[in-house]
Amino acid sequence: MVALGVWVIGPAGNVGACTIAGWAAVRAELLPPTGLVTAAPPLSELPLAPLDDVVFGGHEIGGRSVADAVRGLVAEGILPAAVVEAAPVRAALAATAAEVCRGVTGLVGWDAFERVRGDLARFRDRHGCAHVVVLNVASTEARPDGLEQVPATPDGLFEALRGGLRLPASAIYAAAALDLGLAYVNFTPSTGSDLPALHALALARGAVHAGSDGKTGQTLIKTALAPMFAIRRLQVNSWVSHNILGNDDGRALDDPGPRAAKQHSKGASLAAILGYAPESRVGIDYVPSYGDWKVAWDRICFEGFGGAQMTLELTWRGSDTSLAAPLCIDLIRLAALAQRQGERGVLAHLAVFFKNPIGSSEHRLELQWLALIGHLLPVIGADLAVEAAP
Ligand SMILES: NC(=O)c1ccc[n+]([C@@H]2O[C@H](COP(=O)([O-])OP(=O)(O)OC[C@H]3O[C@@H](n4cnc5c(N)ncnc54)[C@H](O)[C@@H]3O)[C@@H](O)[C@H]2O)c1
């Protein structure tokens, strides 16, 4: 019997592997919990599932093992070699390898749904998991046309799937997880659980879900900075963003379908925060020699009193994976907590973690953070309310 099962869609990707190895390293105190918001007050006061009572598994379609992916992270200078070679991390990677099943990809239907649901149920039952969180960190999919015609009720959806309807793999994984009453977190811009029938399915099965697309870099900055222009009533005339990255995510985003899904997700926040839509572009270039070390560049043209024209430019260089993995650990633990607390449906209070939050129209980083604390304060205990105040 274990307290928590974590099922990773795409465990041999950079983010999946760094989350699994990072979890083991933090648990063994080989790495400090830098970047983990659940490791510091007030969230560390929550009754979170302990880090040491967990089992990982996942669905993967690539040929690389999780251990190979972790070696790649060492070669890129993201994780220290001594940490991933330490016995607790090696043991966690070996245990995960034994739990990885062949995934599904592309547009898939009822057979895939049944197979995925079976894999998840066997994992849960084999380990007697009290709770299971399914985390999607697979490559970004293209968003297919016609999703608005998918039946809006769970029964209608299942009937259509049995009749030959095919959905993107991310939605099939989400449907299987929610149908079993498991928690589902979509860290990618792919469809995942964001279909009316899956929202209804989560409510019907008492499952929780959250998404979409982890807010780790450029959008994190954008949603911290754009409120400044709004508060001071400075008119933003244009906001041009560009990303250069060379990892496998970058390679996947070189394909126009997935790139459009990512650009849509990255573009969601600006108009919502400013209240108007300035001229805006989000470019993504794949340059393999950059590896995981992404460069994100922003140029903002804005106007002040008397029409004075001003600009702000900033460049951010960061390891995409190092920024993403702690968020994944936080999301897993917070989704498991919500499940344990008997919540159901969309976890809108987790909006601070996402570029395109499901169930929330709030994009301003600080207000999202306060909403998260506000939601969790009753769980933490009223005495900590004072500590949470800025
Ligand atoms: N790194 C970040 O900062 C960040 C931020 C937000 C979102 N994301 C998203 O997280 C996802 C993962 O990023 P990454 O850098 O780890 O990418 P990656 O390419 O290194 O890993 C993706 C993994 O998913 C596997 N995969 C692809 N399709 C699959 C499927 N249908 N079923 C099972 N496995 C599948 C691949 O084989 C690969 O192992 C991407 O969608 C990315 O856009 C990443």
* pLDDT of the residue at 21: 98
Distance 301 CA to ligand 1 centre (A): 33
Mean pLDDT of the chain: 94
Count of other CB atoms within 10 angstroms of residue 224? 12
Beta strands in the chain (DSSP E): 4-9, 54-60, 100-102, 107-108, 131-136, 167-168, 183-186, 208-210, 235-245, 279-286, 293-303, 309-319, 345-346
Residue for token pair 């964001």: 194
pLDDT band at 235 (very low <50, low <70, confident <90, very high): very high
Q: Is 335 in the pocket of ligand 1 (CB under 6 A)?
A: no
pTM: 0.95
What is the pLDDT averaged over residues 5-13?
Answer: 98
What is the pLDDT averaged over residues 58-83?
Answer: 97
- Higher confidence at residue 353 or residue 248? 353
Q: How far apart are CA 363 and CA 287, in angstroms?
A: 30
Residue nearest to atom 33 of ligand 1 (CA): 60
Ligand 1 pocket, mutate which of 76, 135, 139, 255 (most atoms under 8 A from CB): 139
Q: How far apart are CA 199 and CA 291, in angstroms?
A: 37
309-319 and 293-303: which strand pairing? antiparallel
pLDDT surpassing 70 at residue 288: yes
* pLDDT of the residue at 324: 98
Answer for the pair 182, 134: CB distance below 8 angstroms, yes or no: yes
Q: How far apart are CA 37 and CA 334, in angstroms?
A: 10
Residues in the chain: 390
pLDDT band at 257 (very low <50, low <70, confident <90, very high): confident
Distance 188 CA to ligand 1 centre (A): 7
Q: Is 58 in the pocket of ligand 1 (CB under 6 A)?
A: no
Distance 240 CA to ligand 1 centre (A): 25
Rounded to the nearest 5°, which phi and psi values hold at 34?
-60, 130
Answer for the pair 6, 54: CB distance below 8 angstroms, yes or no: yes
Q: How far apart are CA 313 and CA 299, in angstroms?
A: 4
Domain boundaries, the chain: 4-214+322-379, 218-319
Distance 345 CA to ligand 1 centre (A): 24
What is the pLDDT averaged over residues 137-157?
Answer: 95
What digits encode the pLDDT tens for the residues 173-207? Answer: 999 999 999 999 999 999 999 999 999 999 999 99
CATH topology of domain 4-214+322-379: Rossmann fold (3.40.50)
pLDDT band at 383 (very low <50, low <70, confident <90, very high): very low
Q: Is 13 in the pocket of ligand 1 (CB under 6 A)?
A: yes
* pLDDT of the residue at 249: 84
pLDDT band at 382 (very low <50, low <70, confident <90, very high): very low
Q: Is 135 in the pocket of ligand 1 (CB under 6 A)?
A: no
Half-sphere exposure of 62 (CA within 13 A, CB side): 19
Residue nearest to atom 20 of ligand 1 (CA): 13
What digits encode the pLDDT tens for the residues 95-122? Answer: 999 999 999 999 999 999 999 999 999 9
pLDDT surpassing 50 at residue 259: yes
Candidates 3.40.50.10800, 3.30.360.10, 1.20.1300.10, 3.40.630.10; correct CATH number of 218-319?
A: 3.30.360.10
Distance 320 CA to ligand 1 centre (A): 11
* pLDDT of the residue at 384: 52
Residue nearest to atom 25 of ligand 1 (CA): 10
Distance 234 CA to ligand 1 centre (A): 37
* pLDDT of the residue at 387: 52
What digits encode the pLDDT tens for the residues 331-374? Answer: 999 999 999 999 999 999 999 999 999 999 999 999 999 999 99
* pLDDT of the residue at 201: 98
What sign results for the dihedral spanned by CA atoms 146, 151, 152, 154?
negative
Answer for the pair 218, 316: CB distance below 8 angstroms, yes or no: yes
